[in-house]
Amino acid sequence: MSLEQTVQYDSGYDKLPENATPLQKMQYEVGKEFMKGINNSQMNDVLMKYGLTAEKVIRFEVVVNLDQMREPNNAAIPESEMQSALKAIPAEELKLASCCWCWTRNRCVPCNSIC
């Protein structure tokens, strides 16, 4: 199965399946680091300062701009197998990770989870 045919991994970054594809592994790693960064920040204080305190009203996403990767001006970056495979995906962008701010847990959680 090619990279562009894989189903994206999105189960809250808890555990990676044993038979994960390279894209799923990348999504998992990006998701874990993304959540760690947001949850170790002062985001709660900033959102509270501006009154954005409703559950899951704030959504954070990490998106790869596939169109930008295909631009010839980006040829200075050495081409990797992952980059080649991502460029072959027939879409404008690919969401790697997302989370929604959960006030009851004071952290960002997968948007499909319960706060």
- Range of 36-45, 61-70, 76-85 with top mean pLDDT: 36-45
What integer pLDDT is reported at residue 14 of this predicted model? 64
Q: Is the dihedral of CA 70, 34, 108, 9 positive or negative?
A: positive
Task: Identify the H or E element spanning 38.
Answer: helix 22-39
The answer to whether 96 and 27 have CB atoms below 8 angstroms apart is: yes
Q: How large is the average pLDDT for residues 35-50? A: 91
Q: Would you say residue 4 has pLDDT above 60?
A: no
